[in-house]
């Protein structure tokens, strides 16, 4: 990513590589003016909260948002979390929610992207319709699905009865075992089209000649997809899957509006649990410690994300 084209290298006036860092910073001082607003905003809204959260995670806090009489307790908040039985339950829910949502959103997005790749009449309209869930407000979508899943008057239950698949409308989001799959269906509905457009963009980078060549060599459509198309989508796939995974891991609105973590905590994931701990039970210290653990997981994913971006950037410049 840092390698630059010859043209832009010539364009820049900068001197030899031997000049000191400070000198180079000074030389480029006007460049920073362009990025400064972005950096300042990011610093205010990210750096301070990150620092504050880490600090808070080592303190015992009183309820209420004044947070004046906090006392240092070291790692006790972390111990509380890891020793609670809820922790493992919530973690398991989070894993199921994240992995299943990401997998199905990617799979459906890929299938749609492949189906829409070929030019045909009405393709633009179909693509537009498929993209709508992605732009509709998550709050509105959650209420709509809550109404669809309604245990007495929900249209889905009625449909199952009308088709003879059930004798009476099933409880979907009021049932401990079914609530998580039901929420995953909503989540996938909302975000598969993101994977779809990313992959549609990626598909355009697959060279047509290569597919022809494979065809001439007798590869069937599946072989052409697996050995030619898919390897070209590797960069996009990594970025898309990572972005989906992060968005799902942090997906708050759908579980919060649809079930609030219920019934009996069976649809609590990390993020809703943290919110509940902080704003419901006002255990700010424990919630902060949870947040720090979440930071760490995100940073690990973040390293992969940056590396994936870097790699696809480099292969681009090489090509």
Range 81-100, binding other proteins (CB under 8 A): none
From candidates 63, 64, 221, 231, binder to other proteins by CB under 8 A: 221
- Are 149 and 173 in contact, with CB atoms under 8 Å apart? yes
Beta strand 59-60 pairing with 71-72: antiparallel
Stretch that binds other proteins, among 47-55, 73-81, 87-95, 176-184 (CB under 8 A): 47-55
Can residue 211 be called a binding residue for other proteins (CB under 8 A)?
no
Least distance between other proteins and beta carbon 44 (Å)? 7
Q: Based on CB atoms, which residue is closest to other proteins, 99 or 301? A: 301
Applying the rule CB under 8 A, the residues between 134 and 163 that interact with other proteins are 135-141, 143-145, 147-148, 150, 152-153, 155, 158, 161-162
Cis omega before residue 230 (within 30°)?
Answer: no
Q: Which listed residue (90, 100, 105, 108) binds other proteins by CB under 8 A?
A: 108
Per CB under 8 A, which of residues 233..252 are in contact with other proteins?
235-236, 239, 243, 246, 249-250, 252
Degrees, nearest 5: CA angle 298-304-309: 120
R_g of the chain computed on alpha carbons: 25
Q: Give least dist CB 89 to other proteins, A.
A: 19
CB of 238 to other proteins, least distance (A): 12
- Candidate ranges 73-81, 86-94, 258-266, 309-317; the one touching other proteins (CB under 8 A): 309-317
- Quote the Cα angle for 53-55-59, to 5°: 105
**Does 106 sit near other proteins (CB under 8 A)?**
no
The single residue among 73, 99, 160, 253 that binds other proteins, judged by CB under 8 A, is 253
Cα 49 from Cα 63, distance rounded (Å): 19
Q: Phi and psi of 57, rounded to 5°? A: -70, -15
- Sites for other proteins among residues 160-189 (CB under 8 A): 161-162, 169, 189
Q: Which of residues 191-210 bind other proteins (CB under 8 A)?
A: 192-193, 197-198, 200-202, 204-205
The helix/strand/coil state of 42 is helix
**Residue 147 or 226 with smaller CB distance to other proteins:** 147
Shortest distance, position 139 Cβ to other proteins, whole Å: 4
Residue 69 binding other proteins, by CB under 8 A: no
Between CA 185 and CA 105 the distance in angstroms is 9
Binds other proteins (CB under 8 A): choice among 15, 41, 63, 213:
41
Contact 30, 275 (CB under 8 A): no
Q: Which stretch binds other proteins (CB under 8 A): 73-81, 86-94, 174-182, 300-308?
A: 300-308
Q: Does the footprint of other proteins cover residue 286 (CB under 8 A)? A: no
Coarse DSSP helix, strand, coil percentages of the chain, rounded to the nearest 5 percent: 70, 0, 25
Cβ–Cβ < 8 Å for 234, 242: no
Q: 59 forms bridges with which residues in the sheet?
A: 72
User: What is the DSSP-derived secondary structure letter of residue 165?
Assistant: S
Per-residue DSSP letter, 151: T
Piece in contact with other proteins (CB under 8 A), picked from 81-89, 92-100, 175-183, 216-224: 216-224
Stretch that binds other proteins, among 78-86, 98-106, 119-127, 173-181 (CB under 8 A): 119-127
User: Scanning the structure block, which residue is given the tokens 């009308």?
Assistant: 162
Measured from the Cβ of residue 241, the count of other Cβ atoms closer than 10 Å reads 19
Instruction: List Cα–Cα distances, 71 to 52, 79, 270, in angstroms.
Output: 15, 16, 25
């Amino acid at each position: 990513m840092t390698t630059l084209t010859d043209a832009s290298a010539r364009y820049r006036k900068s001197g030899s590589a031997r000049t000191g860092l400070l000198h180079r910073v000074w030389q480029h001082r006007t460049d920073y003016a362009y990025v400064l607003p972005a950096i300042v905003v990011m610093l205010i809204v990210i750096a301070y909260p990150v620092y504050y959260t880490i600090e808070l995670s080592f303190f015992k806090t009183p309820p209420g948002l004044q947070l004046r009489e906090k006392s240092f307790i070291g790692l006790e908040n972390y111990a509380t979390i890891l020793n609670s039985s809820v922790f493992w339950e919530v973690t398991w829910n989070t894993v199921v929610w994240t992995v299943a949502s990401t997998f199905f959103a990617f799979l459906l997005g890929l299938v749609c992207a492949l189906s829409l790749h070929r030019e045909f009449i009405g393709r633009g309209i179909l693509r537009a319709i498929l993209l709508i869930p992605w732009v509709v407000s998550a709050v509105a979508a959650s209420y709509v699905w809550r109404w669809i899943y309604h245990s007495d008057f929900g249209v889905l239950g009625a449909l199952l009865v009308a088709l003879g698949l059930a004798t009476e409308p099933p409880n979907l989001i009021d049932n401990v075992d079914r609530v998580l799959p039901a929420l995953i269906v909503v989540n996938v509905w909302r975000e598969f089209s993101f994977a779809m457009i990313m992959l549609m963009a990626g598909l355009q980078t697959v060279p047509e000649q290569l597919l022809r060549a494979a065809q001439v060599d007798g590869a069937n459509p599946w072989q052409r997809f697996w050995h030619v198309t898919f390897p070209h989508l590797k960069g996009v796939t990594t970025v898309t899957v990572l972005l989906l995974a992060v968005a799902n891991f942090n997906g708050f609105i759908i579980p919060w509006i649809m079930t609030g973590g219920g019934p009996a905590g069976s649809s609590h994931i990390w993020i809703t649990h943290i919110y509940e701990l902080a704003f419901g039970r006002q255990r700010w210290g424990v919630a902060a410690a949870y947040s720090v653990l979440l930071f760490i997981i995100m940073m690990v994913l973040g390293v992969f994300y940056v590396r994936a971006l870097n790699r696809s950037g480099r292969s681009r410049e090489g090509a």
